[in-house]
Amino acid sequence: MAASMWANLGGEAYMFGGARPTPQLSYTIPQIGAHAGVMITASHNPYYDNGYKVYDENGAQMASQKTKLLAEFIGEVSVNDVSGFLDSGILGAKILPAEAENSYIDSLSEALIEPDSLRETPPKIVYTPLHGTGAAVCPRVMERFGIPAVFVEAQMKPDGAFATVKSPNPEDSSAMEMGIKIAEDCGADALIATDPDSDRMGVAVKSEGGKFGILSGNEVGIMLAAFRLERMKALGLLEKPENCVVLKSFITSPLIEKICDFYGVRCVNTLTGFKYIGERICLYEKKFLAENGCELKDRYFKNRARMFQKHSSFFVLGAEESLGYLGTDSTKDKDANSALLMFAELLAYLKKNGLSAREYLVEIFKKYSFVRDFSESLRLESVADLKRAKNILFEFGKNPPKKISNLEVSEIVNFSDGGISDADGERLPKENFYMLKFADGSRVGVRASGTEPKIKFYISIAGGKAGSADDLDALNARSREKADAIFRYFEGVFA
């Protein structure tokens, strides 16, 4: 209907031939020279929670200034203005050709550092789209790159009612149960699930005794960052490491920052929301175009790495703790389809070297540092309670504590004041978000949810390097105790 309305107003409108992943729209907009794109999706929520995502000509989510203007324009349109278009059907909109669909599949190869590794030691993956749009892309991607796949057939068919799960959110362990059962039965290396609009990826891997356990969003981000930088270093691709960049949100694990520091690579933190990562990729592309004089059409990872390090900043990885990842700069939003390829490449490398995913995570803690990340939230009863909590949060930012439990507060970063710049020197917009840093290297981020009556806490506990599995067990236990103590303190603050 949206496409038809635009066409009837005299515009040129294109549609996909069926439901497609959100990141595919992001990629396609600049490829066909469109001025904007619209995705209507509820993601893992009920259909009546459909959202309206708007993308600019670069394929990035529109910035706050633009969306504010757009909302004002929408507010000026009355129901009577649109009633004549509601019964017109899909008139005037064109269906995108197969070449446009295939171009997106081709672009995903940009995420792979060593594509041949997937055929040399292919990991066995169980895949589920959780009744969503990933079914239109991921099976094609896995076949294209030689990844043996077992599909969760009961969840392959698109279904807005999500009949086999309580919630099709890969962050919810119950959504992964059917896939985990199949993965354990068939001896798979991993279960990979994409959410209904296929922009977020959940992963479960073997734990001790052959049982599968779910990796957190932070753990997946940590593993991808470590693997990609390790391989780039080994292959001589970090020619100018200061011109390589990992983009992540402030609330995503600080261990990624430590990994970047190890290789001399920039880690740029953004505010919460992948749109900020997309915006930054656009800035790097703009600089590349200015210095190089033309776009780089080469899809080969190694060539792109060298050219962008020479003329701009090479985008290595984008990550958010809420299961959002990106491995290519041709898409400007989180992309579970490229994330699947990145994680499959990691699994192939581990298989070749006789390591499990869990063992690799332990090696990361030993090599770089130990950081455990926890997410907690306080659910409030009403919007009024949320408003009260925001006021408490504001006062808290003005008068922060000197200690929480036995942890000494060394710094508080108040993002609501403005005037904060990131590692690229770019000024950040104001946000009702606070980051407390502790003397031992731990930290906690506190923010009010933008969509629910919740206050969210992102706790990262630092523990130094782990020398053995026994060390890890002890560090894990102490980290949980510290995180619980921090959360109990905030429960008291907002009581």
DSSP string, 449-489: -SSSSEEEEEEEEEEE---SHHHHHHHHHHHHHHHHHHHHH
Q: What dotted CATH number matches 2-100?
A: 3.40.120.10
- Domain 369-493, architecture per CATH: 2-Layer Sandwich (3.30)
Residue whose token pair is 């619209």: 38
pLDDT tens-digit series, residues 285-301: 999 999 988 888 878 89
- Label the pairing between strands 125-128 and 149-151: parallel
Which residues, listed in sequence order, are joined to residue 372 by a DSSP beta bridge? 461
pLDDT tens-digit series, residues 33-72: 999 999 998 887 777 778 889 999 999 999 888 888 988 9
Topology of domain 101-367, CATH = Alpha-D-Glucose-1,6-Bisphosphate; Chain A, domain 3 (3.40.120)
- Whether 101-367 and 2-100 are alike in CATH topology: the answer is yes
Reduced to 3 states (helix: H, G, I; strand: E, B; else coil), residue 96 is coil
Q: In angstroms, rounded to a whole number, what is the distance separating the alpha carbons of residues 130 and 147?
A: 19
Break the chain into its structural domains and give their ranges: 2-100, 101-367, 369-493
Q: In angstroms, rounded to a whole number, what is the distance separating the alpha carbons of residues 268 and 277?
A: 9
Instruction: Give the per-residue pLDDT at 295.
Output: 81
CA dihedral 445, 462, 192, 271 (to 10 degrees): 30
Which member of 43, 249, 312, 369 is catalytic? 43
Q: In angstroms, rounded to a whole number, what is the distance separating the alpha carbons of residues 446 and 100?
A: 42
| Residue 161, CA atoms < 13 Å, CB-side half-sphere | 2
CA distances from 16 to 71, 97, 137, 184 (A): 25, 8, 13, 36
Output the CA angle 190-196-201, nearest 5 degrees.
35
> Which helix (DSSP H) or strand (DSSP E) does residue 378 occupy?
strand 370-379
Reduced to 3 states (helix: H, G, I; strand: E, B; else coil), residue 448 is strand
pLDDT tens-digit series, residues 119-152: 999 999 999 999 999 999 999 999 999 999 999 9
Please report, in tens digits, the pLDDT of each residue of the chain (495 residues total): 788 888 888 899 999 999 999 999 999 999 999 999 999 988 877 777 788 899 999 999 998 888 889 889 989 988 888 877 776 666 788 999 999 999 999 999 999 999 999 999 999 999 999 999 999 999 999 999 999 999 999 999 999 899 999 999 999 999 999 999 999 999 999 999 999 999 999 999 998 778 999 999 999 999 999 999 999 999 999 999 999 999 999 999 999 999 999 999 999 999 999 999 999 999 999 999 999 888 888 788 999 999 999 999 999 999 999 999 999 999 999 999 999 999 999 999 999 999 999 999 999 999 999 999 999 999 888 778 878 888 888 888 888 899 998 899 999 999 988 889 999 999 999 888 999 999 999 999 999 876 677 899 999 999 877 666 667 888 889 999 999 999 999 999 888
**442 catalytically annotated:** no
Encoded amino acid at 44, one letter: H
Two tokens, residue 55: 């993308």
